[in-house]
Copies of this chain bind each other. A is one copy, B any other.
C-alpha cells in the first residue's frame, strides 16, 4: 500500500475530497455537501482506487468549530454536520491522525504551501460570507482557539447595515455575497443572487452598480486595514466573487489604495476552488503551532 494524505474541504454548498502523494493531488472528487458518511465513502473510494492508505487526514470546515476537540459546531449552513466529532470519527474509520481547522485558515495554508508561497500574507475568502486566514513568517496565526482571521467581522462602517452576527457595519454585511444580495433585495424589492447583481452592474444597471461599488469599496477598506496591520507581502483573494475579478478587481484595488498608505499588492489564489483542499493536505504540518 502506498502512503497518502487525505484532504477534505467541507463547504456550505460543495464538499471536496482528495488524496495527496508526495505533495501532489493525485485524485479528487466533489459533491453537494451532505454529511460524514458521504465523506467517508468518497475518501475510501479514492484510497482503494489509488491502492493507498492514509497517514493523515486534514479537514477544513466553516466556523464555528471546536478545534481542540475536533468537533464541528452549530453551523446553520451545515445541518448534517452539527455536533459531528470529525476527528474522532475519521480516525476510527481510517486509523490515522486527523486534523480539523477553520476552512479559511486551511485555505491560507494551501496558499502558503501550493499557491504564491509568500511567507507573510492574509488570505481572504470573498464568497457567500467573508473569512480569512493569516500567515506571518511562514506560520499560521491561529489565535487562542484557532479562530483568528475573522476579517469579515471587522466593523468598517459603525453605522452600516446589520450583520447576521448581531453587530452593524461588518465587512461581511456589506461586501459578501449575502450582503450584496440583501442590498439588492432592499433596492430591487426582489431576490437576486450576488452573481446576478454583479451581472446587472456589468450591464450598466445603475442600482446594481451602486451596490457593487459599495461592496468593492468596503472590500478595499478591509484590505487597507489588513495591509496596515500586517505589512504583508500580499493579500490573496479566493472565493466565488473573485470569478468576476476582471470587473470587480479594479474597483477593489482603487479603494484599497485610498485606505492604505502604500498601495496594497492583491493577488488571486492560483489554486481556485481547490485552495482549501490543498491546505487540508498540509494541515498536519501546521497544526503543531496551534497551542
Contacts and interface: CB of A to CB of B under 8 A. Distances in A.
A98 interface: no
A110 to B, nearest CB: 20
Most buried by B among A119, A136, A167: A136
Nearest to A225: B154
A116 to B, nearest CB: 14
Contact of A137 (B225, B259, B261, B289): B289
Interface string A216-229: 01000100111011
User: What number of copies of this chain does the assembly contain?
Assistant: 2
A261 B153 contact: yes
Contacts of A145: 231
A86 interface: no
A197 interface: no
B142 A228 contact: no
Interface string A182-209: 0000000000000000000000000000
Contacts of A289: 137
For the residues of A in contact with B, the DSSP-based class is: loop
A147 interface: yes
Interface residues of A, number: 44
A217 B231 CA distance: 25
A228 B259 contact: no
Contact of A148 (B151, B156, B230): B230
A147 B165 CA distance: 32
Contacts of A141: 136-137, 141, 230
A282 to B, nearest CB: 17
Interface string A141-168: 1111111111101111110000001110
5 contacts: A132-B229, A144-B231, A146-B231, A148-B229, A157-B158
Interface of A: 119-120, 132, 134, 136-137, 139, 141-151, 153-158, 165-167, 217, 221, 224-226, 228-233, 258-261, 289, 291
